[in-house]
Every structure is written in structure tokens, then in C-alpha cells.
Amino acid sequence: MIYRMLRLCSFLFLGLMLTTCIIPFTLNELRGVEATLVIEGDIILQGDTKVYLSLSRSLDGEDVICYVTDAMVWIEGESGDQYAGLLIVEANTPPYFIIDSKALDVSKQYKLCILHNGKQFESDFLSPLKSPEIYSIDYQINDTRTTVEFFVTSYGEENASRYYKWAFREDWEITSKYATNFFFDPISNRILQYTADPHIFYCWNQSESTSIIIAKTDHLDNNTVYRQQLNIINCTSDRISHLYSMELYQMSISKEAYDYWSVLKKNTDEIGGIFSPQPCEMSGNIRCLSDANTKVLGYISAGTITSKRVFISEKDIGIYISFDCPFFNESDFNQPLEPAIPLTNREKFDMGYAVVRVELVDPIEWVPLSCVDCRIRGNKNKPPFWPNDHL
């Protein structure tokens, strides 16, 4: 909270001086930094533990995440019991190791172990923490009706952990701006009428939380997380154009874990202002047993996860501002060339336009493809839990 305030200070300066500026900057000395192993994956009781291994890269490196698959991952209990991980490589998702950790005992301590490149890495022994149920997820529209903000409220037990971490998965349904019965067929070079539903009106999109959401209640009378902010959605976002759903996962974490994540968050979000804290190196709770000088990044927690899903439709929020889809007829397509050379339908198709209306009297009207085919903006992966029968 304090640091947030301080960040505001720097914004005040931005406004105050009108000359304060932030300009892109690159330091040449930073080239070819050695890659460090990054370990992510909390030990989940009553569920599956997913462990992602990757390597860090230098700042000027290529914008790809280098995942590690040639490793062994397992959970080890205090009594020496081991739970081996299985590498899962699927299309469109990063490779991960999955460990069946349903049988772990909440009263025992566990650690995560990794063997990679002949070096063994281990987390500290962790006592699993039980997460309380999520009480509610609600939202609030701001005064200017430009954003909607989502919040979580939870009531923890008095003697339970007072530190929380959340992550969420979003799914949302979108629709095309217009429904159309016609399409340009490039093979026959003609405009045809659909004979069956092309299923291009309803689509879906998915996303996961990208920011670090943590909270603590150690300074409060009771262990209540009241309306912790989760995300802010802009009124022009597709997410709130039709039907939005969020599944929130909540985990109780230790104070050390909270401190780690809050530094990580600070280093990501709150650096560079006039009164910002100085950024800093961090050490997680994972060590390299084979070589003390080998760095490793990451922090492992252990515990149960509670989750809650909500659906909110556009009608409830009511602030969505749709994008523009202007109609184009023959005259609109006329190039600024003299004499005007009318475009062929094929040319319009190649330029990314689609037929929206064909009437006997009027000329054919076109719109950008994204206005009639929702697959441009989304996909047809309808979630199985979706509460309507749209196809």
C-alpha cells in the first residue's frame, strides 16, 4: 500500500513537471547472461501437482520461453515417500511434469525435488496449508463507466495462515457483429448462400491471470480478505461483450512465500519511480544440492486449493462498447485512382472483406471479415461447463 502510494508520487511528478519523462533505454553491458533454471509448481494436496521447468534468458534474447523437459521431478515426504512426476508434452501448451499428489497427508511435510543436467535441486520441506473456501467474487463498475473491476472476498479461520495467493482462468463468449447468410466462394468466384449454419457467430476465448495476486490479513482484526482486487477489464474488451466467466483458485501461503511473491511483484510493477524501493535480488526456497554456486529461481508452496467460478453476462455489466464495423459498398471501395477501377469481388475477398448483405436493388455490401466471422477474434473451443447451447 505504501509503495503504491509512492508510485503515485512519481505519477504526480509526471503531471507536475510536465517535463518528467520516461524514455526507452538499453544498457549495452548486458549481453549473453548464463541461463538459470526456473522452477514453478506448488505442491497441491487433493489434486495434481504441475511443475514447469524453464530457463531464464538474457534481456536481449529471443522472445521465447525455453522449457526444460530433460529432467526428473518428484515430491518427497518427510518419511522418505516419493511421488514421481510424469512429463506431459501436448500441443499448444507448455510441457510440464505432473505428479499425482492426491494422497499427500496434510499433516506431513513435503519437498519438491528436481534432477537436471546432473544437478539436484530441492525445495525446503514444506508444511501444507489449507485454503479456506472463497466466499464471493463480485465486481464494481467505475464512476466513468469505463472499466469493471473484480474482487474476491474470503473468510479465513482465525488461527490459519493469514497470507493468500490467487490465480484465475477466464473464459468468455463472443459473437460476430453481424450474422450473414452469404459468402464469397473463391473457388467458384461467386457469392453464395450458406446452406448450413457456418458456426461463425458464437466463439469463445480463454486466458489465465498474468499478474501476481496476493494479500495478507496479519494487520487486521480478523482473517478476512475483503474485496481484494483481481483484475480490471476495460469497456472495450471482448471479455465483457457477451458472457464472461472466471474460475478463481485460492491458496493459503506462508509468510515467507508471501514475502517472495510480494518482492517479485514489486520488482515487476513498482520499480523506477522517484521513491520506489531499490530493486533487489531474491532467493527462493529452492537450493542446488550438487553445487552451492548454481543459481536457481523459484519458490514452492504446498497446500490445498479452493476454487470458485462465476458467470457474468454483458447485460449485467452493461458498459461494453463494441468495435466499429462499417459497411462498404462499391463506391467505398473505389480507390483514389483516376479513373476509378472497380475492385473485383475476389480482390475484396483477398483484402479481408466478407459479404454481409446481398439485396436485389442495392449493391452488395461488405464488412471486414472479423465482423462476421468470430473465429478471427476467438475460437470454437466451447468450454464443457458453458451454461448455454450456443454452437
Site track for another protein across 281-320, x = CB under 8 A: xxx-------------xx----------------------
Closest distance to another protein from the beta carbon of 71 (Å): 16
Closest distance to another protein from the beta carbon of 18 (Å): 6
Closest distance to another protein from the beta carbon of 343 (Å): 35
Kindly calculate the radius of gyration of the chain based on its CA atoms and give it in whole angstroms. Answer: 26
Q: Using the structure block, give the residue that is written with the C-alpha cell 490479513.
A: 217
C-alpha cell read off for 350:
483477398
Q: 216: which strand partners?
A: 163
C-alpha cell read off for 391:
454452437
Nearer to another protein, 300 or 343 (CB): 300
Pure H helices in 157-210: none
Give CA 158 to chain center in angstroms.
32
Q: Using the structure block, give the residue that is written with the C-alpha cell 473457388.
A: 187
Q: Is 275 in the site for another protein (CB under 8 A)?
A: yes
Q: Is 62 in the site for another protein (CB under 8 A)?
A: no
Return the C-alpha torsion angle 270, 272, 276, 279, nearest 10. Answer: 80
Q: Is 279 in the site for another protein (CB under 8 A)?
A: yes
Window contacting another protein (CB under 8 A); options: 1-9, 116-124, 156-164, 369-377 = 1-9
Nearer to another protein, 171 or 314 (CB): 171
Q: Using the structure block, give the residue that is written with the C-alpha cell 457456418.
A: 198
By CB under 8 A, what part of segment 24-43 binds another protein? 24-27, 29-30, 33, 35-36, 38, 40
Please say whether the beta carbons of 354 and 372 come within 8 A: yes
Q: Is 159 in the site for another protein (CB under 8 A)?
A: no
Q: How far apart are CA 22 and CA 13, in angstroms?
A: 12
H or E element, residue 167:
strand 163-175
Closest distance to another protein from the beta carbon of 325 (Å): 25
Q: Which of 47, 48, 65, 190 is close enough to bind another protein by CB under 8 A? A: 65
Q: How far apart are CA 238 and CA 233, in angstroms?
A: 9
Q: Which of 121, 164, 261, 320 is close enough to bind another protein by CB under 8 A? A: 261
Q: Which residues contact 154 (CB under 8 A, 6 or more apart)?
A: 132, 133, 134, 135, 164, 224, 225, 228, 250
By CB under 8 A, what part of segment 212-241 binds another protein? 212, 219-222, 224, 226-227
Please say whether the beta carbons of 191 and 355 come within 8 A: yes
Window contacting another protein (CB under 8 A); options: 60-68, 107-115, 118-126, 383-391 = 60-68
3-state secondary structure of 228: strand
Q: Which of 19, 107, 188, 335 is close enough to bind another protein by CB under 8 A? A: 19
Nearer to another protein, 58 or 189 (CB): 58
By CB under 8 A, what part of segment 181-210 binds another protein? 208-210
By CB under 8 A, what part of segment 323-342 binds another protein? none
Q: Is 2 in the site for another protein (CB under 8 A)?
A: yes
Q: Is 46 in the site for another protein (CB under 8 A)?
A: no
CB atoms under 10 Å from CB of 374, counted, come to: 24
Q: Is 143 in the site for another protein (CB under 8 A)?
A: no
Closest distance to another protein from the beta carbon of 44 (Å): 15
C-alpha cell read off for 27:
544498457
C-alpha cell read off for 151:
474482487
Nearer to another protein, 22 or 391 (CB): 22
